[in-house]
Amino acid sequence: MFLIKGMPIRLLQGRTNELQTHSNADDQVLTDPRMASGMQEKQYTPSLLSFFIYNPKFGPREGEEEKKILFYHPCDVEKNEKIRNVGLCEAIVQFTRTFCPTKPAKSLHTQKNRQFFHEPEGNFWMVMVVRNPMVEKPSKDGKPPTIEYQEEEILDTVYGAVLQQCYSMYKLFNGTFIRAFEAGGVELLTQKLEKFFYRYIQTLHLQSCDLLDVFGGISFFPLDKMTYLKIQCFVNRVEESLNLVKYTAFLYNDQLIWSGLEQDDMRILYKYLTTSLFPRHTEPELAGRDSPLRPEVTGNLLHYGRFLTGPANLKDPDAKFRFPRIFVNTEDNYEELHLIVYKAMSAAVCFMVNASVELTREFCEQLDALVGPQLTLLASDICEQYNINKRISGPEKEPQFKFIYFNHMNLAEKSTIHMRKTASVSLTSVHPDLMKILGDINSDFARVDADEEIIVKAMTDYWVVGKKSDQRELYVILNQKNANLIEVNEEVKRLCATQFNNIFFLD
Amino acid sequence: MSEGYYLELSENPVQFENASSVNNVFFDEANKQVFAVRSGGATGVVVKGPEDKNSIAFRMDDKGEVKCIKFSLGNKILAVQRTPKTVDFINFIPDFPHLEFSHECKTKNSSVLGFCWTSWNEIVFITDQGIEFYQVLPEKRTLKILKSQSINVNWYIYCPETAVLVLSTTVQGNVLQPFAFKNGTMSKMTKFEIELPVAPKPAKIILSERDIAVATIYGQLYVMHLKHHTRSTNNSGAEVVLYHLLREGSCKKAHVLKLNTSGKFALNVVDNLVVVHHQSSRTSLIFDIKLKEPDCPVNIHQPVLPAQSIHPYKISVTGPVAATGQASVPCELYSSTWSVFQPDIIISASEGYLWYLHVKLHPTVNLLQDKGKLMDFLLHRSDCKMVILSVCSQMLVGGEKGNLPVVATVFDKLNQVYKEYLEAEQAYTLAVESGPSRFSNSYKRPIRSQAVIDQSDMYTHVFSAFTEKKDVSHKFIIAVLMEYIRSLNQFQITVQHYFYELVIKTLVQHNLFYMLHQFLQYHVLSDSKPLACLLLSLESTYPPAHQLSLDMLKRLSTANDEIVEVLLSKQQVLGALRFVRSVGGHDNVSARKFLDAARQTNDTMLFYTIFRFFEQRNFRLRGNPAFNPGEHCEEHVTYFKEVFGEQTLMKLPVV
C-alpha cells in the first residue's frame, strides 16, 4: 500500500553517544542509547498512514457518525473503519480533556504509529497518523523477518507542526472551515477539503521533516541599507500608481526582503512560494534553450519580467487573467485577495489585489510595463550589491560551521545544514540522527522560559550545541576530532562573534 | 490677483526730477547714481541713489552743456565732460579746495567718447583713437597718466562690478577688445569677434552698442549680444548669444538664448537670470543658463517660463510722498522712454523713476508644471528657501497619482545641494583643523546659500505638519518619509534621529509593528541611544521591541550600562552579570546593584550565585572575600547569613 524507499543504514562504531552537558541553570542529561548491528537490515522511514478531518457536532446521534467525517485519507478505507478511527480519536481527546481542559491531547504514541491531533477551529479536528520508522531484520532459518518499531525516533514537535502547516496552507487558499460551511454547508466544505488535500497530502514528505518545520521560519535576504531602501521605494511607488495593489511582498533568491502582509500570513505564503511555486518555475528556467519546458520568450527585450501566476504570455490572445486567490487576516478583516507573482531574474514580487476586483488584460499589461523594467534594474542592482558585500565580508567564512538559527520574534531563519528546500526533497548535509538531536534540544528549550545552553557529544566526532537567548535559538553541529568541551564552547563563541555580532546574543 | 506676474519693479523707486529742456538726467552705472543737472549745473545738481536716501545736492558753474557726469567711487571726485576734448574735475573730499580743474586728452585730433572711474582716484578716458588711464591727484589738481593704448574705438561698454572695459573696434564694429583694470594697472584681454549674420558691403558699422551688454551671471563675466532675426538666415526669431569672457584665455561663445520672436529688445540680469524685455508685445522672457533643456543641444536655451509682462505698476499723481488713498495712475510699462541698465535697472527719465527689477518666485511655482525643473530653477535663486519649502508642502498635500517619483526627484535635487554644502563645510573644517598652513588662507568658510535645505528645515516646515494631516493616508506618509530617508542615504548624509522617530511614531500610530520590525531588521533606522530607548518604551504594546532595542544597544557598543539596566529591570540578573563579564566590566560594577536585583527575584539560589560571584571577585581583587564598607552590601551579607548560615560565607584560605 505504501511505497517505502529502502535506505542503507550507517554502521555505527560501538554504542557511543557519550553525553556531556553544559548548562547554565540546571544540569541536563540526555540519553540516546542506540543499537545497531552489522546485519542486512532494512530501515523504513516514517510515513503517512492516514489523515482525516472531522467535526463531532455534525453527527452527534448514533447511526449518523459518518456525517462527522469531512475528509478521510486514504479514501478507500472501509466506512466502519473510518468511523471507528474517528471515534477513537474523539474518545481520546474527550478523555484526556478531563485532566487538562485547556490543553487537549496533541498526540498519541503507540508502538506502531503516532497520532497527532489538532483543533484549528472550534470543533474541527485534524488528525494525522504517522507510522513509526522501523527496522526490518532478516532472521535466520527462513522465518519471516522481524520488525522493530523505533517509536522514539519521531518528534511530536516536528509532526505537530506539519499538521498545523497543513491547516495554514489550506486556509491560505480556501479560507477557514467555518466560512466554507456557512457559505455552502457541509457539501461545500467537503468539496473544498477534498480538492485541496487530495493533492496536498501527496506533497507531504514526512521522512524529511525536521526542526525547520517546527520553526516554519522565513529566510531573509541579507542586504545593505541603501539597496533595501531602493526596494522599499519601488514597492511604495508601484503601490501608489497601481492603487489596486493592497499588499506587496518582495523576494530575492527565494529569500524574503519585504512583506506588507502580517507575519503569520507571510509565513505560510513564504512556505508556499519557496516550496511549491518557485521550484515549479525554476526547472523551466534551468532547462536548455531548446527544451520544451522553457517558457516562450515574450519578445520583450526591455526587461525580463514575467508572471509566475496568471498569464504565462501576455501576447497570447487566449491568455487567461486568472490568479490564485488567497485568504489573509482571517482573524479580523478576513480578506480575500488575488495573488499575482511577478518575477524578473532572481527578484520576485507578490502583488495582492482585493479579490472583488476583476483583473483584466489592461491591468496586467500596465503592471508588466510599469514593474518589468524597474524590477529588472533592481534585480541587477541587488545582485551587484550582494556580490560586493560578499567580497567585502571575505571569502566564505561559513562552511566549517553547520548551524540553524531561528528568531521567534521575526521568524528569521538561517540554515547552513539544509542545502535545498523544495516540496519534494529537503536535502540536509547531516545525518538524520543529528537532526533528531537538534529536535530534542529544541523540545527541551520549549519547556523552560529561561536562556540556556546545551552541549551534546554525539556519535563519532560530532558535537551538537544548542543555545537559547531571549527569543533566539541557535543550533551548531561541529565535527572536530578530539575536541573537548572547552574547545567546543570557544568555537561556538567564535561563530557567534562572526555571524551574529550585530545582535544581542548572550554567551 | 498677482498670479502669473513673475517680474516686478521695486516698490520704492529712486525718484528724481524728470528730464526736460532745463533738466538733463544722467545715470552712472558704477555708483548707480542719477544726476539731475538743471541748467548745466548752475541752478543745481541733485544726485540720487542708489537707495534714494543719501542724495547730494550742489551747484556748479554753467560752463556749457554737460555730456557726461560721474562721481569717483565713494563720491570723492566729480568728473564732468563738457567738451569733446576735455574732462573737468571737482574735489569732493572734505578739507580739499572745492575747485574745478580740467584735463585734456593727450592724443591729438581725438575726441573723448566718455570716461569711467575704476577706483576713487583712477579714471579711464575713452577716445575714438584709444584709451588713456589716469590717476587723479586732487591735492595737486592734476592727472598722472598711468597707461594708454591707441586703438580705433567705435563705442565702449564698462562693467563696474568687474572693472572690465569692452571696446568696439574695426569698421564693422564687431571685434571687441576688453581691458581689465585693477589697482592702477590695466591689462589687455584677448579680443574676440561677435558673429554677425551677414557682412554688409561696403563695410560699415553694423554692431550697435545697443545690442551689446556685459554682466556677470553665476559669477562669470559674459558679453551678451542681441542677435536680431534676419530674413535671409532663418525664421527662428532673434536670439541672445552669450560670450564667456575669461581673464585669461580666449573668449568663447557659451550660450544661445532663443527668443522665438523679433522686434526691439532690452536685457537685464536679475538673480543670475537673463531677462529679455520685448517692447512690442510688452512682455519679458527669462532664461537660466544653468537649466539644461532636455531636447536641445547643450547650451541652447528656451525661456524658462512663458512670456509675461512685468507686474502692473501704479504711480501716484502727486509724487513720491503721496499718502495712501490718493489718486494713482497706472505706469506705462515697456515705454519707449525707458532706459535699461545692467544688471537690473530700469529708468524712466521722462517720469523721473529708477527701479530695480525683481524676480518673484511664488508665481513661478504654478507656471512650471515639471517639479524637477521647477526645483532646478528655484535652487539657483537667491531668495528661494521658503518658496522651495512651500513647494514641498504643496506637492505632498496634492496627492495626485504617480506623485512619489516626483517627490523622489525633488528630494534628490534638494539633497544634492545640501550634500555639496556639507562637503564644502567639512573640507573647510578639515583645513582649519590642520592648523595654520600656507593653504589655510585660501580656504574660506563656505557660504550657506538659501538653497541649502537641511533636515531640520524639512522637518519644521514640511514634515511635521504633513505627518499630522488627517486626510493623508498613512501609507503615503510612510512612503514619503522613506523616500526622504532613501534620498539622504543616497547622498550619504547622516539622517537625523527625529526622522526615524517620525517614522516610528507613524507606524506605531497605525499598528504597523511588523513593518517597523522589518525596517529595523535591515537597519534602515540607524542605531542610536534615543532610538533604542524609544523602542524600549514600545515594549508593552509590541513585545519584540525589547529584543530590537537590546540588539541596537549592543551594536552601539557604547551602551553597555544601558544593557545591564535593561536586563536587571527584567530580572535577568544572571544574564546581566554574564553580559558584564563578556565585555570585561565585571571588576568595576556595583555589587550592590546586582545583589539588590537578585534579592527582588525572591530566588535564593540566584541570590546565592550572585553573592558568591562577588565574594570571589572581592577575593581576586583584594585577597579578601568580604565586601568593602563603601560597597554598602551589609544588608545583603546579613540576609545571606540568615538564609544560608554564617559558615557559608566564603572564608579566607588559611595560609
Inter-chain contact A470–B490, Cβ cutoff 8 Å?
no
Residues A273 and A377 reside in one and the same domain? yes
pLDDT of residue A395: 55
Cβ pairs bridging A and B (under 8 Å) = 92
The reply to whether A291 falls in a domain is no
How far, CA to CA in Å, does A233 sit from each of A307, A364, B161, B394, B522? Answer: 21, 21, 48, 21, 14
Phi-psi sector, A123: left (phi>0), alpha (psi -120 to 50), beta: left
CATH code at position A109: 3.30.450.70
Residues A256 and A111 reside in one and the same domain? no
Closest CA in chain A for residue B576: A506
Q: pLDDT tens digits for A127-147?
A: 999 999 888 888 777 777 888
pLDDT of residue B654: 64
Inter-chain contact B403–A225, Cβ cutoff 8 Å?
no
**Which residues contact residue B435 at a Cβ distance below 8 angstroms, ignoring those fewer than 6 apart?**
none
Cell numbers 572734505 correspond to B94
Closest CA in chain A for residue B493: A226
Inter-chain contact B489–A260, Cβ cutoff 8 Å?
no
In this structure, chain A runs to a length of 507
**Which residues contact residue A180 at a Cβ distance below 8 angstroms, ignoring those fewer than 6 apart?**
A174, A188, A189, A192
The reply to whether A479 falls in a domain is yes
The reply to whether A172 falls in a domain is yes
The reply to whether A293 falls in a domain is no
Distance from CA of B429 to the nearest CA of A (A): 28
Buried b (16+ CB within 10 A) or exposed e, A261-272: bbbbbbbbbbbb
Cα–Cα distance measured from residue B334 to residue B183, given in angstroms and rounded to the nearest whole number: 39
Out of B514, B517, B555, the one facing A502 most closely (by C-beta) is B555
Cell numbers 535591515 correspond to B522
Chain B residue numbers touching A241 (CB-CB < 8 A): 401-402, 404
Name the nearest CA neighbour of B641 among B606, B616, B601, B604. B604
The reply to whether A381 falls in a domain is yes
Closest CA in chain A for residue B521: A410
Which of A393, A424, A444 lies at the terminal end of a domain, its last residue?
A393
Residues A409 and A443 reside in one and the same domain? yes
Inter-chain contact A236–B404, Cβ cutoff 8 Å?
yes
Out of B476, B522, B578, the one facing A225 most closely (by C-beta) is B522
Residues A188 and A279 reside in one and the same domain? no
Residues A463 and A422 reside in one and the same domain? yes
Low-confidence ranges of chain B (pLDDT < 50): 1, 320-323
CA atoms within 13 A on the CB side of A66: 6
CATH code at position A453: 3.30.450
**Beta carbons within 10 angstroms of residue B426's beta carbon:** 11
Boundaries of domain holding A133: 42-209
Out of B401, B544, B551, the one facing A502 most closely (by C-beta) is B551
Which of A337, A370, A393 lies at the terminal end of a domain, its last residue?
A393
pLDDT of residue B412: 92
8 Å CB contact between B46 and B57: yes
Closest CA in chain B for residue A230: B486
Residues A262 and A345 reside in one and the same domain? yes
pLDDT of residue A172: 94
Quick one: which H or E segment has residue B505?
helix B497-509
Residues A415 and A309 reside in one and the same domain? no
Inter-chain contact B408–A233, Cβ cutoff 8 Å?
yes
The reply to whether A23 falls in a domain is no
The reply to whether A290 falls in a domain is no
Residues A386 and A408 reside in one and the same domain? no
Residues A384 and A235 reside in one and the same domain? yes
The reply to whether A139 falls in a domain is yes
User: B168 has which bridge partners?
Assistant: B155, B176
Distance from CA of A311 to the nearest CA of B (A): 26
Chain B interface test: which of A23, A27, A221, A233 (most B C-beta within 10 Å): A233
Name the nearest CA neighbour of A378 among A316, A471, A305. A305
Cα–Cα distance measured from residue B612 to residue B581, given in angstroms and rounded to the nearest whole number: 15
Residues A353 and A234 reside in one and the same domain? yes
DSSP, residue by residue, B351-372: TTEEEEEEE-SHHHHHH---HH
Closest CA in chain B for residue A24: B574
Residues A481 and A388 reside in one and the same domain? no
pTM of the model: 0.82
C-alpha cell at position B523: 537597519
Which of A180, A209, A238 lies at the terminal end of a domain, its last residue?
A209
- Number of domains making up chain A: 3
Q: pLDDT tens digits for A320-341?
A: 888 999 999 988 889 999 999 9
Out of B405, B478, B524, the one facing A229 most closely (by C-beta) is B524
Strands B300-301 and B252-258: parallel
In this structure, chain B runs to a length of 655
Chain A residue numbers touching B476 (CB-CB < 8 A): 240
Q: What ipTM does the predicted assembly reach?
A: 0.82
pLDDT tens string, chain A, 507 residues long: the values are 232 222 322 222 223 333 333 333 333 333 333 444 445 778 888 889 999 999 988 887 888 888 889 999 888 888 889 999 999 998 988 888 888 888 888 889 988 899 999 999 988 999 999 999 888 888 777 777 888 888 888 888 999 999 999 999 999 999 999 999 999 999 999 999 999 999 899 888 888 888 888 998 999 998 888 999 999 999 999 998 888 899 999 999 889 999 999 999 999 999 999 888 888 877 555 544 444 444 444 455 577 888 888 887 777 778 788 899 999 998 888 999 999 999 988 899 999 999 998 888 889 988 998 899 899 999 999 999 888 877 776 655 545 678 899 998 889 988 888 875 554 555 677 788 888 888 889 988 888 877 888 888 887 778 889 988 888 899 988 887 778 888 888 888 888 877 777 777 765
Chain A residue numbers touching B547 (CB-CB < 8 A): 407, 409, 470-472, 504
Residues A430 and A448 reside in one and the same domain? yes
